[in-house]
Every structure is written in structure tokens, then in C-alpha cells.
Structure 1
């Protein structure tokens, strides 16, 4: 099943996609939050679907919001694909590179991306996003990790490279945290069997940019969740952006984004995003 949030920003209502239908979850929860995920929310949704008691969404054409409301943290992994590390001019990391985005960067999958004043190097990054469903702290092995994951979504780790690199002061987050810099969704897929077997792609103005697979990640989802749990406590609703493959503007092969450009992103089983840059 796939959880969604539909409606205008700040007024989204929960829904679930299942077997070709779209059903209203308002009778189950007011919203898809970390508390909902931690309190057995996914099991309650499955029970309602099995019972056939959920009403069909009456107006499915509404705006799509991010599939989880107000994440407490957005934790990002840098250079987690060897080819992307190479195009960035770096050797593959021996340990995960960690940085943070401000949680309020998270917007809907088709919302506009706003170029910050004076920015000249805005870049796209298709990423597999992981949403935590159960608190993870000091896990004993990667084998425990995926049991703490609620599901997966598409994330666009939008970046302003001059702030990230040239004016960073040693911290990438400066170039990652502008408003609208983390489109997420369109849905949270809860039944992905193997997150390391997903194709991911991006386009700018209809032209292909990235085309890779999560099998090429240097650190797997399980390894990342385990590793992060050694440094910090992952809470339900937290989002992990797991890194991007090669094919971004930072490579020098493509121009940076300008107002009027359209970015599209896709991951197998997780749907598609489309953002107007303005």
C-alpha cells in the first residue's frame, strides 16, 4: 500500500492507494505523522483495507502533499554512489557522509522549487528517501535496520552549489536548506521488498539526466540506518535522503537550473515528481 496526503498546503488529508483504488484515511488518522507511524498506524490501515470499510476519495485531483507531515529531521547522505563521487571530484567515502536539511524544506512532489535570491547554481538530485517508522537507537547490526523503516519515497535533494561548496564554511547544509528544497512523494510505499533493486531517473526539460539503480549505492539502506543509529536517535517520521547517482549539474556536463525549467524524477514503484523552477 501507498500512503498519501492530499489537499492544499497545511490542510492535507490522509489517503491510501491500494489495489488500484484511492481511499480516505480520515476515519483512521487526522494525518500521517511520526506519532501515527509509531503507534501501529500502518497495521490499522491494513486492517481497514482488509475489512473494506474505507471510503473512496471523492476528489482525487487535489494537490499532492509530502507523504509524511512535519518530519522532525531530514538527514542526508553525501556521495553515496561511486560515479557521483567521481563526478564531484572525490574518492568514494569510506564512511557515510552526513549532513542535514531544515525539515521545512519538505514540500509536495509537484510543488514549485524556488530559486533563492542571487543563487546561480541550483541543482537537482533524485534520491531514494527512507521514512522511519520505529525509533532506532544504537542498533546492534544492519540486520535489524529495515524493521525500523516505515516506507520509501522519491526525494529531490535540491542544492545550491555555491552555498554548499564555495561559501559552506565546511558544512554542506547551507546550500541544502532553502525553502522548497526537498520535494517528497508522491506517496510513501510501505511494501518495497528490496530497496537495493530500484531504478531511479531524472530529466530536465524532458532531457535525460540521471539513470541508475539503488544497487549502486555504496552504503545500503540497512547499513545507513544502522550507522546513523550509532550517532543519533532516529525517530518515527524522520526522513533519510540516501544519496544521488551521477548526472547532476555539478558534473559540469549540464547547465544549472534556471526559472522556467521543469525537473522530473522517477523511482521504480514510487511514482513520479514534476517541479517547475521559478
Structure 2
């Protein structure tokens, strides 16, 4: 199982972090190791190497079929479940890494940095590209988005990624975060929703 993530896939989030950023012409892809996966409501422990870990709430797609060089028009055949997840980012490390132009795995792919919710069938929804999702911290909504605002849609992402990586059953694709990211702190209670269904529920330790 591999975790594939898309960066800079919502225009307003890009402005939030990079006001002068040029809109990417192709999906920006990075990977997380399987040791990054945090599931079953287990707590997230803030690592000792960062003083500023941010939540980034995202729609996550689970691949259900082996595929390579998938045509965009057939991409919807390759996933059957979705959920909401959090791409935790060590923002202070990310800033330093960006300054030097080095790879950013340590700020994105550290242990437990990919929180994942309970999966639901994709056919439960009329249109995967018109889904609302949001994150609550201690009962207050802190981030919300709609997949209609993606710069690169789910099927585009799958077609693009499959040019470089064979997609296997169980692979996860984190599709990018909307505007509203922010830091987490010890003791907080995080709850992630897809439409109005809570699929993610855990604490920060």
C-alpha cells in the first residue's frame, strides 16, 4: 500500500500559504510511506522535531483495482470508496526545506502524518466532484471545502499519477486541502466530516 498526495490543489489555499505562487499546470505529487498512516481513531502525538504541526483536511480516495496508464475517462472505475483524512505537515520544517529547495518528505511523511477516517462507498454520493467536507476542533468548525473547487479533479489525478506509478488495490490518494489550515495543540479533539457524516474522530496528544 502506498499513500499518494496532491499538493496545491485548491487556489485559495495556495494564496493562503504562497500569495505569489503560479498556478500549477500539472498535479503536484508527493508520497508518504505506509508508516505515516494513522487509523482507527488512534491519537496523534505531536513529534518532538516540530513546534508547528498543521492540519490539512482532505478528501481521500481508495484505489480498488490494479491500473497503469489509466485514461481519464475510465478513472472512475478504479476507486470505490472515499473518506476524509488529514495530511499533517510540520510547517516549520517545510519553510526551512523550501528555502533550500530540498525534498520535503520529513515535513510531510513522518510517522502518523496521514490520519484516515472510515471509508464509505463512493456510489453513496451523486457526484464526487461536488462533495462538502469539513474539520471540527473541539466542536468548532475550523476548515471546510468542496471538491468542486479542486484545480485537478479526482479522475485527472488518477490518470496523471498512473503514468508514473502502478496503482494497486488499497492505495490511497489524498487529493489536496482547501483554505483554512492551521496548527494543532495537545488535548484537542479533531472530527472530520464528509457531507454531514462524521468519518474521522481522534485526539491530539
Q: How much does 1:134 deviate?
A: 1.0
* SS of the residue 2:129 aligns to: coil
Correspondence for 2:187: 260
The answer to whether the 8 Å contact 2:122/2:128 transfers is: no
Q: Name the structure 2 match of 1:158.
A: 88
Q: Aligned-pair distance for 1:262?
A: 2.0
* Cα contact 2:97–2:104 (8 A) shared by 1: no
Return the index of the structure with the highest Cα Rg.
1
1:181 matched residue in structure 2 = 113
Please say if residues 187 and 270 of structure 1, whose CA atoms lie closer than 8 Å, have aligned partners that are also in contact: no
Q: Is 1:121 aligned to 2:52, yes or no?
A: yes
Counterparts of 2:22 and 2:181 in 1: how far apart (Å)?
17
User: Residue 185 of structure 1: CA displacement?
Assistant: 1.8
Query: SS at 2:5's partner residue?
Result: strand
Q: Report Cα offsets for 1:169-225 as digits up to 9, x if no partner.
A: 522321122222112122232424421011011122333221220000010000000
Partner residue, 1:110: 41
Structure 1 unaligned runs (5+)?
Answer: 1-71, 250-255
1: CA distance, partners of 2:196 / 2:156:
22
Please state how far the C-alpha of 1:92 moved relative to its aligned partner: 2.5
2:73 paired with 1:73: no
Measured after TM superposition, the shift of residue 129 of structure 1 is 0.5
With over 3 angstroms needed to count, the CA separation of the structure-2 counterparts of 1:208 and 1:190, relative to structure 1, is closer
Residues 85 and 174 in structure 2, CA contact (< 8 A), matched pair in contact too = yes
How many residue pairs get aligned? The number is: 200
1:209–1:92 distance in 2 versus 1, CA, 3 Å? farther
Question: What TM-score comes out, normalization by structure 1 length?
Answer: 0.68
Whole-Å Cα distance in 1 between the matches of residues 42 and 22 of structure 2? 34
CA distance in 2, matches of 1:80, 1:145: 18
Structure 2 counterpart of 1:94, from 19, 22, 25: 25
Q: TM-score, normalised by structure 2?
A: 0.90
Q: CA deviation at 1:269?
A: 6.5
Task: Note the aligned Cα RMSD (angstroms).
Answer: 1.7
Q: Name the residue aligned to 1:202.
A: 135
C-alpha separation in 2, matches of 1:138 and 1:260: 44
CA distance in 2, matches of 1:229, 1:133: 14
